[in-house]
Amino acid sequence: MPVAVDQHVFRQRKDAEGELFAKVLKQAGRGTDGYSQGVYLFTAEGKLLGFSNTADAKQVKNLLDNALKKFDPSAPAPKLAEAKVGDVLPPPPEGGLILDVNAKMLGGYAPDDPRGQRYLKSIGRDHLWLRKDEADALAKGRLLDTVKERLVRYHLIDNTRGEPPMWSTAEIKKLELTLRDGRLTGTVHLETKSGDRGYQAEFLGFLEAKDGKLTRFDLLAKGEFWGEGNFTRGAPKGRFPLAIAFSLTDIQRGTSKVPPQGARGNLKGYLK
C-alpha cells in the first residue's frame, strides 16, 4: 500500500501513526528530531524492509525488488491493537481563505540533461492562507500589506525540486503590488545579501467578489529565478524562467487542508 506523508508533521506526531513512523525511522538510523525525507518500505507492524532518500525511478524499483525478497507473504497477519489517531494539522484561519500555489520552471536545462528535463515537468505545490480580515479586505477591493509580504516571503520560492528556503524581510529589495478595479499588477525583486539566490518577476492577476465574498483570485508571478537551497540542489546555472500561480482552492479536496510550508512550526509568525 503506497502512502505519502509530510515527514515534518509525522515526526512530531505523538499518536499511533507518529509512533509507527518513529519506529521505522529508528531502524533506518534516523530520529524524529531531524531530516527524515525518503522512501521507506516496511511491514504492517513496522519492520523496515528497505530505505533510500531518492526520487530516481530506477533506484526506487531496485529498492522495491530488494524489499520484496525480504517480505514473506505467507506469514500470518500481525495482531495489532486498535490505533488511536489524532488530528495534528493546524486548521486554516476561521473565515479566511485558502489559495493553491503552483510553481513551474519554464526552461533553463539543456535538452540532453535527463534529470533537468524531469525537473522541468515537476510542479511545486503549496497553500497560501489568508486571515478573515485580509479576505474581507480583498472582497472590498483592498490589498493589505500583510497579504503582500506573506505572499512574497513564503510563496515566491522555487520548490520544484524539494523544500526551499524562505525569504527574510531584508531580502525584499522591491515590492510593488497594487489592486485596482479587480486587477492586480506589480513587480518584485528578491535577493539574498550575497546575491547567490534571487527572483525578479512581474505580477498580473484578477479578483472578483460577490455578496462580500471573494469568488475569484487568480494571480501569476513570472520572471527569472537564480540560485538554490540546501534541499533544492540541481538548479540550472545562472538565471532561469520561473512562474508561480495563485488561485482559490477547492475546499472539497482533502489536500486543501495541508498547511503552508512556511507555517509548519511557525503558524503565528506566518499569519502575522
Cβ 25 vs Cβ 31: under 8 Å: yes
Instruction: Provide the mean pLDDT of the chain.
Output: 92
* pLDDT score of 16: 84
Radius of gyration in angstroms for the set of CA atoms belonging to the chain, rounded to a whole number? 21
Residue 188 backbone dihedrals phi, psi, to 5 degrees = -145, 145
The fraction of the chain above a pLDDT of 70, given in percent, is: 99
Is 130 exposed, middle or buried (CB count within 10 Å of its CB: 0-12, 13-18, 19+)?
A: buried
C-alpha cell at 47: 519492520
Q: Is the pLDDT of residue 81 over 80?
A: no
Beta-carbon contacts of 44 under 8 Å, excluding residues fewer than 6 positions away, are: 77, 78, 80
Cβ 212 vs Cβ 141: under 8 Å: no
Closest to 243 (Cα-Cα) out of 228, 221, 225: 221
* pLDDT score of 56: 83
Q: Alpha-carbon distance 25 to 46, whole Å?
A: 10
Three-class secondary structure of residue 70 per DSSP = helix
Q: Alpha-carbon distance 233 to 162, whole Å?
A: 8
Q: Alpha-carbon distance 92 to 86, whole Å?
A: 17
* pLDDT score of 79: 80
Q: Bigger pLDDT: 91 or 168?
A: 168
User: According to the 3-state scheme, what is the secondary structure of 196-249?
Assistant: CCEEEEEEEEEEEEECCEEEEEEEEEEEEEECCCCCCCCCCCCEEEEEEEEEEC
* pLDDT score of 210: 95
The fraction of the chain above a pLDDT of 90, given in percent, is: 71
* Cα dihedral across residues 146, 147, 152, 154: positive or negative: positive
Angle of the 132-139 helix axis to the 145-155 helix axis, nearest 10: 110
Q: In the chain, which ranges are continuous DSSP H helix?
A: 7-10, 16-27, 57-70, 114-121, 132-139, 145-155, 267-271
Q: pLDDT tens for residues 102-147?
A: 999 999 999 999 989 999 999 999 999 999 999 999 999 999 999 9
Q: Alpha-carbon distance 2 to 175, whole Å?
A: 42
